[in-house]
């Protein structure tokens, strides 16, 4: 009887070891499947979000309208009603740009230690700097002198 008993014990141990291996394999397979499911959900989310953004972009700016064909609305000074101007506005050619007078707007003047700084066309400048092609000559408490291709322009504050 002991031989049969030993054989039964060995068989039970073998079955127990095999079931542990199968359980481990099943756990590994389920982990792989869950990772694949997460990756699939993530990829689907990216695809759907890009599709939604493309639809929103197409509604905001239809693809059949070119940038050059757009009409920009401007307000009429007298009646404050929108006025449409075609986008094909003549722009000066490079040789004509020297004839076009550049506009300089003095936003402010300030001093730090003994250096004067000015804010012209939303750029911080000091003596010797360039602003829109014009060289800064002198900065005083109320004025900024610019040399634009030999033409002297003096900007002053309202004080």
**Looking at residue 145, what is its pLDDT?**
92
**Looking at residue 136, what is its pLDDT?**
92
Q: pTM of this prediction?
A: 0.37
Scanning the chain, the segments in alpha helix (DSSP H) are 2-60
- Return d(Cα 116, Cα 118) in angstroms, integer: 7
- Return d(Cα 64, Cα 60) in angstroms, integer: 12
**Looking at residue 86, what is its pLDDT?**
46
Q: Which mean pLDDT values do the consecutive 10-residue runs of the chain (159 residues) have?
A: 80 77 70 86 92 85 53 52 48 52 83 85 89 89 89 84
Strands of the 130-131 sheet, one edge to the other? 130-131, 134-139, 143-148, 151-156
**Looking at residue 48, what is its pLDDT?**
92
**How many angstroms from the chain centroid is the CA of residue 107?**
28
């Amino acid at each position: 009887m002991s031989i049969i008993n030993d054989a039964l014990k060995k068989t039970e141990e073998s079955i127990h070891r095999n079931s542990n291996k199968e359980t481990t394999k099943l756990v590994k397979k389920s982990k792989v499947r869950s990772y694949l499911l997460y990756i699939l959900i993530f990829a689907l989310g990216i695809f759907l979000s890009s599709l939604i953004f493309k639809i929103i972009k197409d509604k905001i700016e239809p693809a059949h309208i070119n940038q050059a064909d757009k009409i920009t609305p401007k307000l009429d000074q007298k009646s404050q009603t929108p006025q449409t101007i075609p986008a094909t506005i003549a722009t000066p050619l490079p040789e004509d740009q020297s004839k076009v007078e550049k506009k300089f707007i003095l936003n402010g003047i300030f001093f730090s230690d003994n250096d004067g700084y000015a804010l012209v066309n939303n750029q911080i400048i000091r003596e010797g700097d360039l602003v829109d092609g014009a060289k800064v000559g002198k900065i005083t408490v109320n004025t900024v002198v610019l040399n634009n291709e030999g033409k002297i322009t003096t900007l002053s504050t309202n004080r």
